[in-house]
Amino acid sequence: MEKQAELPKIWCVGVAVCAASYTFDRLFSYIAMQEIPAGCRVVVPFGKGNAKRVGIVLSCAEQAAQPEQQLKPVLAVVDKQPILSPEMLDLVFWLKEMTFCTYYDAVRTILPAGMQVQLVETISLAEPQPDCPLTDAEAHLLFFLRGAKTKQEFRRILADADTQGKKIVDTLVQKGFLLRQETVKEKTHGQTGIKMLRMAVPPDEVPPVTKTQQKLVRILQETGAVSEKEACYLSGVTTAVAKKLVQNGVVESYTVKPPLHTYAASGQTCQPADIVLSAEQQAVYDRMVAALGEGMHCFLLHGVTGSGKTSVFIRLIDTVVQRGKQVILLVPEIALTPQIVEQFYQLFGNIVAVIHSELSLGQRSETWRSIASGAVKIIIGTRSAVFAPVQNLGLIVVDEEGERTYKSDSAPRYHAISVAKKRCQTHHCPLLLASATPSVESYYFAKRGIYTLLEMHQRYNQTPLPHVEVVDMQEERTLGKEGMFSETLAQALWDNLESGSQSLLLLNRRGYHTIISCASCNQPVYCPNCSIPMTYHKVNNSLMCHYCGHTQDMVETCPSCGGKHLRKMGFGTQRLEEELRLIVPEARILRMDADTTMSRYAYEERFQEFRQGKYDIMLGTQMIGKGLDFPNVTLVGVLSVDKALYAGDFRSYERTFSLITQVVGRGGRGEKAGRAILQTSMPEHYVLRLAAQQAYPAFYEQEIALRRQLIFPPICDICVVGFTGMREPDVRTAAMHTADVLKDQIRKTGFSYPIWVLEPVPCVYGRINGKYRYQLVIKCKNTKPYRDLIHAVLTEAGADRSFARVHLYADMNGDVGI
C-alpha cells in the first residue's frame, strides 16, 4: 500500500490591515505556508483589486486542512522577529476596545513613527520584447522613457502621466517592457536632520525675483542661516517659494544633523543619594518604597508648587533602578523635557532616554530599540512615552497629571494615565500621579479611597509661597490708565530689574492683535478655512489662523462689506513685548511662544539662557507656566486670564485655576521671597480668588458640587461622538441620523443602564481647516455594556453610504463644546 504524501503545513493568520475604516475593521484571514509569529508585519493583497497593503499579524494558528473558504496568501513577511511584545499585542486589543479605533491605528500609535513602514513602488525598463506589438500610445510613452537621460527625468515622465497614461504604464508592465517592483522601507529613510536655508549670492547680486520671493530673501538677508520652517513662517510664504529660490540658485539649502543624544555628553556628575529630603518628602518616599513589589496601586501626590516633588521622584526612581527595574516618567510638555532630562542625565548618566514628538524619526527608532534591549532604565517623555517597550517595568510616574496634553485628540483617542494604569496592572507595579493642581477626577478618586492620597503642604526649605496681589483692571480703566500693564505691575517690573532679579509674565495669547475688525460692519476678518478670527502678527505683517495654520497678507479692505476702516483689537505676546520695551527699555526680554520656539531645540536653548541670567524678563504663553524652576525669578505677572474662564468646556474653571496656581508658583523658588500680580477684570470671581490663595481643596469642593449638579465627570463619563465633513448639510444630517441610530439600538437591545443623550449640535468652533464640525454628547459610564452600544452605533451609522463623505468618531471623556 502506497504511503500517502504528507500535505504541506498551512497556517491561517489574522492580519490587521493599514488604512481600514472603523466600520469594516477586523482581523482579516490570510493563508501562509510558514508560521508567522504574532507581532510581525506582512504585505498582503487587499480588496477587490488586490492592492498591496502593509498589515501586522495579530493571530496565527496551524490549519489541519485547507480552509473551506478561499483565502488569499500572505505575499511577504517584513520582520524576521516580532516587533511587538506580547504585552504590546495585548495593548493593541485593549486600545481598540477602549478608544474605538482600528487595530492598525493602535499599532501605529504604539510603534515609533521611525519604525513604521511603507510600500515604495519603483518602475524600471525591462529587456526588449520584440514579438509583442504595441499601440501608438504605448510606443510613444516607451520612446520617451527610453530617452530619459537621468533617473529624475524618468520619474518625472511617470509622475506627469494622467489617468490614461497610468493605464498605459500598466499594460507596458503586463507586456514585459516595464518592470514594477514594490519594496518595504522604514520611514526613517531620508530623515537626516533639520533643513536650513541661507543666501547663496551677495545682497548686491540678487537677480530679479517675485514679490513673494522678495519676502523670503529679505528674511534670509536679515537673519543669515535659519531653518526652512522658521524662514517660511517669518516671511509668510510656503515651502514651494523656498524650493523655487533654491532651484534658481538664489538660496542655498542644506541639512544640519542633530546629535542622537542631546544630553549624553555631560554624563553623570552627581549621585541621587546626595539629594537630601525634607520630613514631608521622606514620608512620601517611604510610603512609595513600601508599595514597590506589592502589585498595582495608584497613588496621588498633591504637593504645593516648590514642595520638591521632583526630588522625591529622583530618589524613588533610583531605588527602583537599583532593584533592576525600568521606570517611565511622563511630563506634559516638550518645554519641560530639556530641563528635567538634563537633570536626570547628570544624576543617572546614559541609562536615561527621552521620547517626545520633536525627535527625528531616526532618533525615535534608535531610542525605541535601546529601551527594548534593556540598555535604558529610565524613560522620560511626553504622552507617547507611555508606550515605551520596557520589559521589566517597576514604576510609572506622571508629573502634572491634570494636564490636558495627556489626552490624545486623534485616533486612538487614549489618555496616557489610562494606558499607564493598564501597563502597571500588567507588570504588577505602582503608578504615581503628581501635581500641585490635580485633575478633579483624580482628587475625587483619592477622596473616595480608590487612589491613595499623599500630600506635601510646605515648600522645600520652608520658603513661603509668593505673595499674590490682585489688580482690578476695570478700576485702572476708570482712572484713565490704558495699555496692558497696570501701574502696580509696571512699577514691580522696574523694582525687580533694579534689584537684579528676574521676572516672568504670562499671557496665553500669541500674535500681536487677536482680532482685526471692520469699523463699518463690525465683522472680524475670519480664516477662510475656519470659523475663527485671524490673528495679526506684526513680525511678518500677516494674518494667521492658530488652528489650521493658514497665513495671508494683512487685508486693506473688509472681506464682508468692502469697508476700508479696520480696527486692530486685543493683544497677544508680540504686542506685549513691544509695550514692555517702552516700560522697561533697559530690560533684556525673552519671548517664548509657538512663534519663537519652532526649531527642535529652541526650548532647551532659550530656557538655559534665561537660567544663566542672559535675560531679565521672560514673557510667554502657557508653555512657561508649569514645571519650570528658575531660582532667580521673584516676580510673576499674569495678564488677562479672564477669557479662559469661558472657553466653552466644562473643564474651563479647572484649567484656569491650574494655570494661575502653577504660574504663580514659578516665583520665589530660590533664596529670595516671591511676589505675584494677577491682573483681571473680575477680581471677585471665586476661581481667581482661590487660585491667588493657592487653595486647591477649597476649589475642589466648589467644582465637585457644580459637577454633581450638572452630572459631569467624575460623576459620570462623557462620550463625544464627533462628525466632520466639507459640506455642513451632510454633517448635520449624519449627526441627526446617528442620534436616531443610537435610540434604535437602545430600543432593539433592551439597553437598561442609565444613559443621557443630548441632541446633536455644532461645536463652538463649527468649522476648522475647511471641515464643518458637529457633536453628539452621551453621558454614560465607561464600562463594557456602554462601549458595546457605542461600537454598534458607530458601525451601523458609519456603514450608511449616504454619509460616505462624513467622518465620525467616538471620544470617551474628551473635550466637550470646543
Q: What value, to the nearest 5°, has the Cα angle with vertex 507 and ends 641 and 649?
A: 45
Handedness of CA 268, 270, 274, 277 (dihedral sign): negative
DSSP state at residue 610 = H
Distance CA 252, CA 242 (A): 9
- Cβ neighbours of residue 309 under 8 Å, at least 6 residues apart? 301, 303, 399, 434, 456
Give kind and range of the element (H or E) at residue 676.
Answer: strand 675-680
The span from the CA of 632 to the CA of 639, in Å, is 21
**CB-neighbour burial class of residue 261 (10 A; exposed 0-12, middle 13-18, buried 19+):** middle
Residue with cell 508629573: 399
CA 329 to chain centre: 17
Taking residue 589's Cβ as centre, other Cβ atoms within 10 Å add up to: 17
Handedness of CA 210, 213, 215, 221 (dihedral sign): negative
In three-state secondary structure terms, 768 is strand
- CA gap 94, 258 in Å, rounded: 36
CA–CA dist 514, 571 (Å, integer): 6
What values do phi and psi take at 16, rounded to 5?
A: -90, 120
Within 10 angstroms of residue 73's Cβ, the number of other Cβ atoms is 10
Best CA proximity match to 589, nearest among 612, 614, 617, 609 = 617
Residue for cell digits 520652608? 462
The C-alpha cell that represents 363 in the structure block: 532618533
Q: How far apart are CA 452 and CA 466, in angstroms?
A: 29
Sheet of 502-506, strand order: 467-472, 675-680, 633-638, 502-506, 617-620, 589-592
Give strand ranges (E) for 214-284: 226-227, 251-256
Is there a binding annotation on residue 518? Answer: yes
548 is in an annotated binding site: yes
What's the burial of 37, exposed, middle or buried (CB within 10 Å: 0-12/13-18/19+)?
middle
**132: annotated binding-site residue?**
no
- Whether 339 contacts 629, CB under 8 Å: yes
- 3-state class (DSSP) for residue 266: coil
- In whole angstroms, give the CA distance from residue 105 to residue 102: 5
CA distances from 139 to 168, 169, 172, 202 (A): 10, 11, 9, 49
Give the strand pairing for 452-456 and 298-303.
parallel
Distance CA 611, CA 361 (A): 30
3-class secondary-structure state, position 803: helix
Q: What is the dihedral of CA 240, 244, 250, 253, to 10 degrees?
A: 60
Query: How far is 351 from 362, CA to CA, in rounded Å?
Result: 19
Q: Could you tell me which residues are annotated as the binding site for Zn(2+)?
A: 518, 521, 527, 530, 545, 548, 558, 561
Q: Could you tell me which residues are annotated as the binding site?
A: 518, 521, 527, 530, 545, 548, 558, 561
